[in-house]
Amino acid sequence: MSPLERSYRRAMLAYPRSWRRKNGEVMLGTLLDAAEERASDKPAVWELASLLGHGLGERLNRRSALVLSLVALALSVTGSLLYLDPTIEAEALPYFLSISLAPFLLSLAVAGILRELDIVPHLRALAGAALALPAWLLSSLAALSWSIGFEQADQGIPYSPLAEAFVPLFLAAWAFGTSACALVLSAVLRRTGMRRIPRLLIATACGAVIAPIPSYVPLMPFGSAGIALTLLILVLLVKRTPGNAPDAQIHIPLPAVVTPRPAAPWEKARMAGAAWIGTAVGLLAVAYALTGSLWFDSGADSTETMRQGMALGLLAPLPLVLTAGRFLESRRGVSGRLAASPACAAAAALVVAAAASGLPLGDAGQWSLLLASVGIGACAAARTAFVAGIGVPGNRLLLACAFGGGYAVFPGLLVSTAGAFAAPLLGIATLVWLRRNTAPQPVLLRA
């Protein structure tokens, strides 16, 4: 074996063994022929980088997602138990396990599912996961910095260097998280046929808003465990097609296929109008929440205008949410009663959350209303998953439980609070989606 062949074989170890067994010799022959044409006796740097990237990306699959979810679940539970144990003084260890390592493993698992479902290419999935690592590390350091600074402020002692570094740590984590989200979102938006510059701008803007949201969930005890459990259920619900091909698509056994009636032009126009209303009112709510105290000479302080702006922001997407139920009826062939039930539940959750945001801070009913909003939103998520799900009723029921429980554990409380600032993004995303071909797609008959 020549040194050149040995180098190529060593680089191809990044690929799974099953892939090397099937495609390794063909790949090796191609690489050796290319090296002979270049009259080179060693691999090119770009060849080694390509082999490493595609090989590691090939390892991101359903099996790795299953293993990573299990490991992340164990790490999150361990970190949460350590955090809740008052006898343990190692404060940094729970942060590292629950806010850094476990979420990074979950990011890898999500990248694996997106890659194997052919939603995101190999290198994009791998690059997004790689950018998630420093994002989670810096996020855990920022959380630790905040905790230490809060304790030192209570004790009236000077801030330590770590406590003073909260802002740069948070901004750095935000930048890496935005980059990771933008990479994935850009790959998804590319399927819409959107041009490169608008696609990158929209992906970056959405990534900047989305990136901070997941970082709050691991701060709650067992927060990462809830995400891991939800992802684990979703991974178990999907199955690989028959055969041993490593690049086989994930699928669920499907019943018969039908095509619903096309959406009428007035239905699409109504959906677009609701999206424009939600975007305009949402932007107004954000502006008033941040600067409303400067608008009038009413003497209202910034805290009061923030509460009022958040309440308005939670009510802004109501027309879009209610319109989406009717649009689902035409696009997916779902009956009006089934399509309306999750939309009405989601609208009720937003109204209850808006009522909670409008109450003064410290009001006894605020926390109860927030929990009620999370519960109603979880029912809406579960109902949506069951109505739009595929496969036999048992699988759809499991999917509904996973989505409902995942919403309650993961984004429920955030949607009921920080969701006030998401109405413009939801409206823009809907308008972008409506630009695509809205011809009716084949859907699956219920088993």
Tell whether 16 and 145 lie within a shared domain: no
Asked, for residue 266, whether it belongs to a domain, the answer is yes
Cβ atoms within 10 Å of 247's Cβ, excluding its own: 13
**End position of a domain, from candidates 210, 229, 248:** 229
Q: How far is CA 193 from the centre of its chain?
A: 22
- Model-level pTM? 0.57
**Residue 231 pLDDT > 80:** no
Asked, for residue 335, whether it belongs to a domain, the answer is yes
**End position of a domain, from candidates 13, 30, 52:** 52
Owner of token pair 């927060």: 223
In the predicted model, what is the mean pLDDT of residues 259-267? Answer: 62
Among 91-105, 330-344, 371-385, the minimum mean pLDDT is found in 330-344
**End position of a domain, from candidates 182, 209, 229:** 229
pLDDT-based confidence at residue 255 (cuts at 50, 70, 90): very low
Asked, for residue 247, whether it belongs to a domain, the answer is no
Tell whether 284 and 211 lie within a shared domain: no
Report which secondary-structure segment, H or E, holds 258: strand 257-258
Q: Of the spans 32-36, 167-171, 257-261, which averages the highest pLDDT?
A: 167-171
Tell whether 383 and 343 lie within a shared domain: yes
Tell whether 41 and 190 lie within a shared domain: no
Tell whether 24 and 41 lie within a shared domain: yes
* Both structure tokens of 342: 């999750």
**Residue 220 pLDDT > 80:** no
Overall size of the chain counted in residues: 447
Tell whether 200 and 348 lie within a shared domain: no
Tell whether 409 and 334 lie within a shared domain: yes
**Residue 34 pLDDT > 70:** yes
Contact 128, 111 (CB under 8 A): yes
Asked, for residue 241, whether it belongs to a domain, the answer is no
Long-range contacts of 352-360 (CB under 8 A, 24+ apart): 352/376, 353/314, 353/415, 353/416, 353/417, 353/419, 354/310, 354/311, 354/312, 354/314, 354/315, 355/311, 356/416, 357/307, 357/310, 357/311, 357/314, 357/417, 357/420, 358/307, 358/308, 358/311, 359/307, 360/307
State the Cα–Cα distance between residues 424 and 428, nearest whole angstrom.
6
Tell whether 107 and 199 lie within a shared domain: yes
Contact 130, 107 (CB under 8 A): no
Asked, for residue 239, whether it belongs to a domain, the answer is no
pLDDT-based confidence at residue 397 (cuts at 50, 70, 90): low
Tell whether 222 and 274 lie within a shared domain: no
Asked, for residue 372, whether it belongs to a domain, the answer is yes
Range of the domain at 285: 257-444
**Dihedral sign of CA atoms 354, 358, 360, 363 in order:** negative
State the Cα–Cα distance between residues 401 and 34, nearest whole angstrom.
52
Query: Which of 70 and 418 is assigned the larger pLDDT?
Result: 70
Tell whether 225 and 268 lie within a shared domain: no
Tell whether 218 and 265 lie within a shared domain: no
In the predicted model, what is the mean pLDDT of residues 336-361? Answer: 77
Q: Of the spans 46-50, 211-215, 232-236, which averages the highest pLDDT?
A: 46-50
**Residue 226 pLDDT > 80:** no
Asked, for residue 244, whether it belongs to a domain, the answer is no
Asked, for residue 264, whether it belongs to a domain, the answer is yes
**Alpha helices in 85-121, H assignment, sequence order:** 92-95, 102-116
Cβ-count burial 51-84 (b if 16+ within 10 Å, e if not): bbbbbbbbbbbbebbbebbbbbbebbbbbbebbe
Per the structure, the count of domains in the chain is 3
In the predicted model, what is the mean pLDDT of residues 289-298? Answer: 74
**Mean of the per-residue pLDDT values of the chain:** 76
Tell whether 205 and 283 lie within a shared domain: no
